[in-house]
Amino acid sequence: MAKGVKIALAGEGGQGVQSVAMILTEAAYAMGKEALYIPNFGVEQRGGVSVAFVQIDDEKIGSPKFKTADIVVALSDRAVRRTTMYCDQETLFFYDDNIEDVEEDLPKNSKKVVALPAIKVAKEELHPRVFNVVVMGAVIGATGVVTEEKAKEALESKLGYKFEQNPELREMNFKALQRGMEIVKEVM
């Protein structure tokens, strides 16, 4: 990776965007990269659009927030409307294809707008609860910021205690990660 990657992840509270940001940056850190993650907290914490700003680079990272992202991921209609402001002509914009009535609100100026079937894949093939891990897989597939192996290790360190109680969860999460990486290749 020659240049740092800036990612803005947005969704409804509870969709797990902050967890994705945390696991992603933990994985990058474990790979010896510089990583910075800052949640957009405040009123959002109490029900609203939750945004995570992630930066991964080979060099020390500058300001914690940025004007425009290389990758924006929006997981709800409100998140789509909220995050178009982080787009410019270099931005890859992902949104879930399950979100309705946002055609008008999608960014007009971004490099590419991609609909991801993350909710569908999670619901039909796995379990709705691993939806955010499918999304994380898609981000990894699109950017290559971290390896699949390090992402698995980061998942293990974050969710290991749950995996111990129910080993099937481990399989499901790893599968979700893999499917995320696959679907992004299919739709791009």
The Cα–Cα gap between 2 and 15 comes to 31
**Helices 118-125 and 131-143 sit at what angle, rounded to 10 degrees?**
130
Does 114 interact with another protein (rule: CB under 8 A)? no
Query: What is the smallest separation between the CB atom of 117 and another protein, expressed in angstroms?
Result: 30
* Using rule CB under 8 A, residue 86 touches another protein: no
Sequence letter at residue 54 = V
With binding defined as CB under 8 A, does residue 113 bind another protein? no
Quick one: 41 exposed, middle or buried, by C-beta within 10 A (0-12, 13-18, 19+)?
exposed
Interface pick for another protein out of 47, 64, 144, 167 (rule CB under 8 A): 64
Please tell me whether residue 153 binds another protein under the rule CB under 8 A.
Answer: no
Binding residue for another protein (CB under 8 A) from 12, 13, 31, 39?
Answer: 39
19 binds another protein (CB under 8 A): no
Structure tokens at 79: 């998140």
57 binds another protein (CB under 8 A): no
Helix (H, G, I), strand (E, B) or coil at 93: strand
Strand partners of residue 115: 95
CB of residue 29 to another protein, shortest distance in Å = 4
Tell me the chain's radius of gyration from C-alpha atoms: 15
Minimum Å gap between C-beta 101 and another protein is 30
What is the binding site for another protein (CB under 8 A)? 22, 25-26, 29, 34-39, 41-42, 61-68
